[in-house]
């Protein structure tokens, strides 16, 4: 799932840069230093970067770069999803799909948290 989170406001646990093509260690070091100043890392991993460098470019391209970042931005996405779920649950939207399949007494005894699990696993 793609999330539209700003990289400046999140805390990163680690970051990996995987480069293929004609890149020097000096280029990599300069760009890692530039990224370090823009990203906020956890206290226990201040370096936070791993670099993979391969001099063979990918087929049909002069070079490629893949950045993998492990950060804490998913909390905002889950909070927004929970708020949307509770808004629909208050209006009992789509609840009739489950009351037709399940016994009436079971459906009314569920809390919104249990209903969230029902919506997640149809």
Predicted TM-score (pTM) of this structure: 0.55
What's the mean pLDDT in 19-33?
Answer: 90
Distance CA 65, CA 16 (A): 10
Q: pLDDT band at residue 122, thresholds of 50, 70 and 90? A: very low
Q: What is the pLDDT of residue 2?
A: 43
Q: pLDDT tens digit string along 33-47?
A: 988 888 888 888 888
Average per-residue pLDDT for the chain: 76
What's the mean pLDDT in 7-19?
Answer: 82
Domain with CATH 3.30.1330.20 in the chain: 12-72
**CATH code given to domain 12-72:** 3.30.1330.20
Distance CA 52, CA 49 (A): 10
Cα→Cα distances 48→29, 68, 74, Å: 13, 11, 19
Beta bridge partners of 11: 40
What's the mean pLDDT in 11-38?
Answer: 88
What's the mean pLDDT in 3-14?
Answer: 70
pLDDT over threshold 90, residue 60: yes
Label residues 36-49 b or e (16+ Cβ within 10 Å = b). Answer: eeebebeeeeeebb
């Amino acid at each position: 799932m793609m999330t539209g989170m700003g990289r400046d406001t999140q805390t990163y646990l680690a970051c990996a840069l995987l480069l293929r093509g004609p890149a020097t260690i000096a280029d990599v070091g300069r760009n890692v230093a530039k990224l370090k100043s823009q990203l906020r890392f956890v206290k226990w991993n201040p370096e936070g970067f791993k670099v993979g460098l391969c001099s063979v470019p990918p087929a049909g391209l002069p070079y490629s770069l893949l950045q993998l970042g492990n950060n804490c931005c998913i909390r905002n996405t889950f909070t927004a999803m929970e708020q949307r779920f509770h808004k629909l649950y208050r209006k009992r939207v789509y609840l009739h799909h489950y009351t037709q399949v399940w016994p009436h007494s079971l459906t009314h005894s569920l809390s919104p948290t249990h209903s969230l699990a029902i919506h997640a696993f149809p």
